[in-house]
Chain A
């Protein structure tokens, strides 16, 4: 099996602007080409687009706009973890020998139709994501004594780190107290607990070890992949204070890479809501169950950027199809030592956690320099 590395990336800024999805895709692709002078359109065997936008045939459209005539081109949709799913697909094409060079571009526009799962009628009229966010939060509070201050600390940390990310949606720093006073959505959820939809696109270039030297002196290797889908219905989660799809995906990824949670230097976590960051770091085994809040508080107070250095979904914004790809870019920059102000010293092993629809499915990737 071929080994697969990430050798290039490009991104747009994440913003509130309403931008056509085709432009977003092209802008991220242009940014990738601009930063990778050794890459020629003719090199690319596969173009995969990750989005929940309903627009048809987007990978062929992007290929045409970018002057690429790939062998393989198609869209990957899996709600909020479309991004990592498309990277896993690209990985598989390369690992199997069907491709040597694959371009993955994730994009979403702010008013994308893909943000609510209409199918899940078990949620009744409570289909908006804030309601599963509320149930998760209430259950975590009940089981582990998580407080509003704990949740606001996650949000304060991620806004603070996003301030050093020029592509982030948010550029404001808030105190824990300010966030605790933000608008109340439900008894268990405030505006400050939520990531927000926005427009944005991110692109990565994956290649096989056979051709890696042509594109990069500092490739980042994908050494672990774990995925699990439990259901499509939020209500099928057995326990609402933990994410079992994340636990299962993590186990698979750690087994594949022969790594352990203790090896992780930097983790990009899917903080769709503040409680998700706490649940995920617990279920990934980065801390023991119930100790997520204490851990995050220490990170915040010591300015340790180990978890969500780019500002998470809460600080950076959540353009669904782009999110997983953007998480991979941040991890790549950290492992290459090019994350600037956000750089974690001597980072060697990175984890990406990307999930969909109230953790009914999860992807965990392990990357190494």
Chain B
């Protein structure tokens, strides 16, 4: 299992960053896709913005971008505010469920 998955299983979202060119590598990989440099795993602040969203039944889901590079789809918890394109979200929970990842975000 990759370091990414080991950490994700603990609920932690870690990001591979290239030691050589400093690019954030996504999807997670052991080597940089630009220069094949080795990566260092660091914590993310988990703050992103909504690129697109929709709803299935009562559940919102969205596609959000983190660190100007990492794009993931997840469930969007909505309390009072309605989602909008460009609105900030916080990555709340990360899980590994079998072969699937599972992300929950909240509107900031």
Residue of A nearest to B52 (CB): A135
Q: How far is the CB of B64 from chain A (nearest CB, A)?
A: 9
Interface string of A235-246 (1 = CB under 8 A from B): 110001000000
| Interchain CB contact under 8 A, A122 and B100 | no
Count residues of A near B (Cβ-Cβ below 8 Å). Answer: 24
Count residues of B near A (Cβ-Cβ below 8 Å). Answer: 23
Residue B16 CB within 8 A of the other chain: no
| Interchain CB contact under 8 A, A186 and B27 | no
Which stretch in A16-24, A125-133, A209-217, A342-350 binds the other chain? Answer: A125-133
Distance in angstroms between the alpha carbons of A126 and B63 in the assembled complex: 10
Q: Are A186 and B54 CB-contacts (below 8 A) given A124-B103, A135-B63?
A: yes
Residue A118 CB within 8 A of the other chain: yes
| Interchain CB contact under 8 A, A124 and B73 | yes
SS class, residues of chain B in contact with chain A: strand
Distance in angstroms between the alpha carbons of A48 and B69 in the assembled complex: 38
Q: Are A121 and B54 CB-contacts (below 8 A) given A233-B27, A235-B72?
A: no
Hey, which chain B residues are within 8 Å of A138, CB to CB?
Answer: 52-54
| Interchain CB contact under 8 A, A125 and B101 | yes
Residue B26 CB within 8 A of the other chain: yes
Residue from A122, A139, A185, A236 whose CB has the most chain B CB atoms within 10 Å: A122
Interface residues of A in 176-212 (CB under 8 A from B): 185-189
Q: How far is the CB of A288 from chain B (nearest CB, A)?
A: 23
Hey, which chain B residues are within 8 Å of A236, CB to CB?
Answer: 71
Residue B43 CB within 8 A of the other chain: no
Residue of B nearest to A233 (CB): B27
Residue B56 CB within 8 A of the other chain: yes
Hey, which chain A residues are within 8 Å of B97, CB to CB?
Answer: 125
Q: How far is the CB of B12 from chain A (nearest CB, A)?
A: 16
Residue A134 CB within 8 A of the other chain: yes
| Interchain CB contact under 8 A, B56 and A185 | yes
Interface string of B38-73 (1 = CB under 8 A from A): 000000000000011111100001010000001111
Q: How far is the CB of B36 from chain A (nearest CB, A)?
A: 17
Q: List the 4 closest A-B pairs by CB distance, nearest first.
A: A235-B71, A187-B55, A126-B73, A121-B101
Q: List 15 A-B contacts (CB under 8 A).
A: A122-B26, A123-B72, A123-B73, A124-B72, A124-B75, A124-B100, A124-B101, A125-B74, A126-B74, A127-B100, A134-B54, A134-B56, A187-B54, A187-B55, A240-B63
Give A residues with C-beta under 8 Å from B. Answer: 118, 120-127, 131, 134-135, 138-139, 142, 185-189, 233, 235-236, 240
Give B residues with C-beta under 8 Å from A. Answer: 26-27, 51-56, 61, 63, 70-75, 85, 97, 99-103
